[in-house]
Amino acid sequence: QTVVTQEPSFSVSPGGTVTLTCGLSSGSVSTSYYPSWYQQTPGQAPRTLIYSTNTRSSGVPDRFSGSILGSKAALTITGAQADDESDYYCVLYMYSGISVFGGGTKLTVL
Amino acid sequence: EVQLLESGGGLVQPGGSLRLSCAASGFTFSSYAMTWVRQAPGKGLEWVSVITGSGGSTYYADSVKGRFTISRDDSRNTLYLQMNSLRAEDTAVYYCAKDHHSSGWPRGIDYWGQGTLVTVSS
């Protein structure tokens, strides 16, 4: 059973930079997993930030960027703003056709 | 403008069935893989199922395999999720989502619907 790992929580100061990661319980994440990142605030549908590792979805500011860092996918937020306080989820596409979400990271901006 | 509108959610008893629909507009529906994602109350997102463009292939999470069936009607621009043998743990908001890649294979969601709530309870 493949588990996708994310930090449960993270905090960043306003104006600061934070990098959230998305890993595998066994093995390394590569671009072949087409990592994607989604932002969700309570009571709202998810919003796509990044797909295929580093492609920003339409309308997403360039403060959000995706990459592979070492053995994990990463989402970096620069110049953090108060309304970036949300839950962030990654998802990885497995070769078997299924996809698996990480457990999500609750980001606090304070 | 891409729009995805789910319907069909509601209250159902354990062991019952429900069919969700997702009406799509604003893009060439048949060209894109479509996905169902759910979120139980207070929990994270869970990938449920995907169907490739034109319906050639389907894939399911282990938690729903054998009970749920994903399908699409490209003539109606509509995605479906037939849910049978429902359990309390299937209670969740179910989101319909569009893939970004026009190859028809899943490569990452770009648009989401607003979701429909399914409650399984006696």
Q: If phi over 0 gives left and psi between -120 and 50 gives alpha, with beta otherwise, what is residue B10?
A: left
- Beta strand A9-12 with A18-24: parallel, antiparallel or unpaired? unpaired
CA angle A43, A11, A35 (to 5 degrees): 70
pLDDT at B102 over 90: no
Contact B107 A57 (CB under 8 A): no
For residue A103, the distance in angstroms to the closest alpha carbon of chain B comes to: 6
Is the confidence at residue B54, as pLDDT, over 90? no
Q: Is the pLDDT of residue B122 over 90?
A: yes
Per-residue model confidence as pLDDT tens digits over A43-83: 999 999 999 999 999 999 999 999 999 999 999 999 999 99
Please tell me which of the candidates A45, A58, A98 has its beta carbon nearest to residue B47.
Answer: A98
A69, A19 Cβ separation under 8 angstroms: yes
Average pLDDT over residues B4-19: 98
- pLDDT range class, residue B37, cuts 50, 70, 90: very high
B55 has pLDDT over 80: no
Closest CA to B31 of B61, B10, B2: B2
Distance of CA A19 to CAs A67, A95, B19, Å?
Answer: 10, 26, 40
Chain A residue numbers with beta carbons less than 8 Å from the beta carbon of B115 are: 45
Q: What is the mean pLDDT of chain A?
A: 96
Q: What is the pLDDT of residues B67-83, one digit of tens each?
A: 999 999 999 999 999 99
* Nearest Cα residue to B38 out of B106, B119, B99, B104: B119
Scanning A68-87 for CB atoms below 8 A from B yields 87
Helix (H) or strand (E) holding A6: strand A4-6
Check residue A95 and give its pLDDT.
Answer: 77
The pLDDT tens digits of the residues spanning A79-109 come to 999 999 999 999 999 978 899 999 999 999 9
Substitution target from B2, B36, B45, B105 for chain A, most A beta carbons within 10 A: B45
pLDDT at B103 (0 to 100): 86
**What's residue B5's pLDDT?**
98
Contacts (Cβ under 8 Å, ≥6 apart) of A43: none
Tell which of B112, B114, B116 to mutate to test the A interface (max A CBs under 10 Å). B112
Q: Please judge whether A87 and B44 are an interchain contact, meaning their C-beta atoms are less than 8 angstroms apart.
A: yes
| Chain A residues with CB-CB distance to B50 below 8 A | 97-99
Work out the minimum CA distance from A46 to partner chain B, whole angstroms: 7
Chains A, B: CB pairs < 8 Å:
72
Pairing of strands A9-12, A36-40: unpaired
Q: What is the mean pLDDT of chain B?
A: 96
Mode of pairing for the β-strands spanning A9-12 and A105-109: parallel
